[in-house]
Structure 1
Amino acid sequence: MKKVLVALLLLGLAMSFGFSAVKPYNGEKVNLYLATFPPLDVAYNQTLVDFYKKYPNIKVEVRALGYGDHHNMLVTALAAGKGLPDIAVVEIGYVAQLGAGGGFENLMDEPYNAGQFKKDFTPYKWAQGSLGPKNLFAMPVDIAPGCVWYRKDVFDKRKVDINKIVDIEDLFKAGKTLTFDADGDGKVDHWLLGGANYIFNMIFFSSPQRFFDKNGKPALTAPRIKLAVSWAKKFRDAGYDAKIGDWSNEWYAALKEGTISYTPSGAWLGGHLKNWIAPDAKGKYRVAELPKLSKKDKKPMKMSQGGSFLAIPKKIPDVNKAAGWEVIKFLCTDVNAQLVAYDKADAFPAYMPAWKDKIFEEGIDYIGGQKARLLWRQIAMEIPEVYVNEKDSIANSILSQALSEVLEGKKDVDTALADAQKELESKMD
Structure 2
Amino acid sequence: MAKGLRILAAAALAVLASTSAYAQEAPDRTISGSISVLTWPNNDRTFQALLPAFNAAYPNIKVNVQGIPQANNAYLNAVQRALLSGNGADVACVEIGMMALLRDKDQWVDLAEAPYGAKELMANFAPFTAANSTLPDGRITTLPKHTGPGGMFYRQDIFAEVGLPSDPKAVADLFSDWDAFIREGKKLVVPNQRWVIGNGEEIVRAMMAQAGVSYFSADGKLQLDHPVFKAGLEKVKEASEAGLISPFSAWSPEWQGAFQRGQLTTALYGNWFGGLLKRAYATDQAGKWSVTSAPAFEGKRAFNSGGDYLGVLKSSQNKEAAWAFVRWLVTDNESLKQQFSGDDLYPAWTPASKADWLNAPDAYYGGENVNAVFAPVQAEMTPFTLNPLDSVAYTAMGTAINNVARNVMSVDEALAGAKAEIEARM
TM-score normalised by structure 2 residue count = 0.83
Please give the residue correspondences for 1:45-64 in structure 2 after superposition, counting only pairs within 5 Å: 45-52=48-55, 55=58, 57-64=60-67
Distance 2:127 2:268 in 1: 22
Please give the residue correspondences for 1:154-169 in structure 2 after superposition, counting only pairs within 5 Å: 154-161=158-165, 162=171, 163-169=173-179
Shifted more, 218-227 versus 68-77: the winner is: 68-77
Shifted more, 380-389 versus 28-37: the winner is: 28-37
Structure 1 residues 132-173: Cα deviation after superposition (integer angstroms, max 9, x where no partner): 483432211122221111011111111123131111111111
Residue in structure 1 matched with residue 404 of structure 2 by the alignment:
406
Identity %: 28
Q: 1:276 aligns with which of 280, 285, 289?
A: 280
Aligned residues: 394
Distance 2:160 2:60 in 1: 58
Structure 1 residues 298-325: Cα deviation after superposition (integer angstroms, max 9, x where no partner): x42x2222222111223334xx334322
Q: What letter corresponds to residue 169 of structure 1 in structure 2?
A: D
Residue in structure 2 matched with residue 146 of structure 1 by the alignment:
150
- Specify every segment of 5 or more residues in structure 1 that has no aligned partner in the other structure, as ranges: 1-22, 181-186
Residue in structure 2 matched with residue 112 of structure 1 by the alignment:
116
Residue in structure 1 matched with residue 220 of structure 2 by the alignment:
216
Judge conservation of contact 1:129–1:136 (CA < 8 Å) in 2. yes
Following superposition, the deviation at residue 380 of structure 1 comes to: 1.5
CA change 1:137–1:234 in 2 (3 A) is farther
Distance 1:214 1:126 in 2: 16
CA change 1:105–1:206 in 2 (3 A) is farther
Shifted more, 248-257 versus 53-62: the winner is: 53-62
Following superposition, the deviation at residue 238 of structure 1 comes to: 2.4
Residue in structure 1 matched with residue 254 of structure 2 by the alignment:
250
Judge conservation of contact 2:211–2:297 (CA < 8 Å) in 1. no
1:44 aligns with 2:47: yes
Following superposition, the deviation at residue 280 of structure 1 comes to: 2.2
Distance 2:70 2:389 in 1: 21
Judge conservation of contact 1:144–1:306 (CA < 8 Å) in 2. yes
Distance 2:272 2:128 in 1: 18
Residue in structure 2 matched with residue 14 of structure 1 by the alignment:
none
Q: What letter corresponds to residue 343 of structure 2 in structure 1?
A: A
SS state at 1:308 partner: strand
Please give the residue correspondences for 1:281-292 in structure 2 after superposition, counting only pairs within 5 Å: 281-292=285-296
1:74 aligns with 2:84: no
CA change 1:334–1:28 in 2 (3 A) is closer
Distance 1:25 1:51 in 2: 18
1:384 aligns with 2:382: yes
Q: 1:31 aligns with which of 31, 34, 37?
A: 34
Distance 2:117 2:329 in 1: 16
Residue in structure 1 matched with residue 189 of structure 2 by the alignment:
179
SS state at 1:411 partner: coil
Following superposition, the deviation at residue 331 of structure 1 comes to: 1.1
Distance 1:28 1:257 in 2: 49
Distance 2:48 2:258 in 1: 34
Distance 2:57 2:150 in 1: 36
Following superposition, the deviation at residue 188 of structure 1 comes to: 4.0
Judge conservation of contact 1:77–1:83 (CA < 8 Å) in 2. yes
Distance 1:390 1:292 in 2: 29
Residue in structure 1 matched with residue 304 of structure 2 by the alignment:
304
Residue in structure 1 matched with residue 239 of structure 2 by the alignment:
235
Following superposition, the deviation at residue 364 of structure 1 comes to: 0.8
Following superposition, the deviation at residue 359 of structure 1 comes to: 1.9
1:316 aligns with 2:319: no
Following superposition, the deviation at residue 82 of structure 1 comes to: 3.5
CA change 1:321–1:207 in 2 (3 A) is farther
Judge conservation of contact 1:84–1:313 (CA < 8 Å) in 2. no
Structure 1 residues 317-365: Cα deviation after superposition (integer angstroms, max 9, x where no partner): 4xx3343222211111111121122233332222121222212332111
TM-score normalised by structure 1 residue count = 0.83
Distance 2:413 2:46 in 1: 47
Structure 1 residues 201-257: Cα deviation after superposition (integer angstroms, max 9, x where no partner): 211233432111232111222222222222112211222211212222322332123
Q: What letter corresponds to residue 303 of structure 2 in structure 1?
A: M
Structure 1 residues 19-72: Cα deviation after superposition (integer angstroms, max 9, x where no partner): xxxx66776643211122344334434544454455555432223333444443
Residue in structure 2 matched with residue 333 of structure 1 by the alignment:
331
CA change 1:407–1:335 in 2 (3 A) is same
SS state at 2:278 partner: helix
- Specify every segment of 5 or more residues in structure 2 that has no aligned partner in the other structure, as ranges: 8-29, 166-170
Residue in structure 1 matched with residue 24 of structure 2 by the alignment:
none
Query: For the pair shown, which has the larger CA radius of gyration, 1 or 2?
Result: 1
Distance 2:363 2:32 in 1: 45
Following superposition, the deviation at residue 372 of structure 1 comes to: 0.6
Q: What letter corresponds to residue 381 of structure 2 in structure 1?
A: I
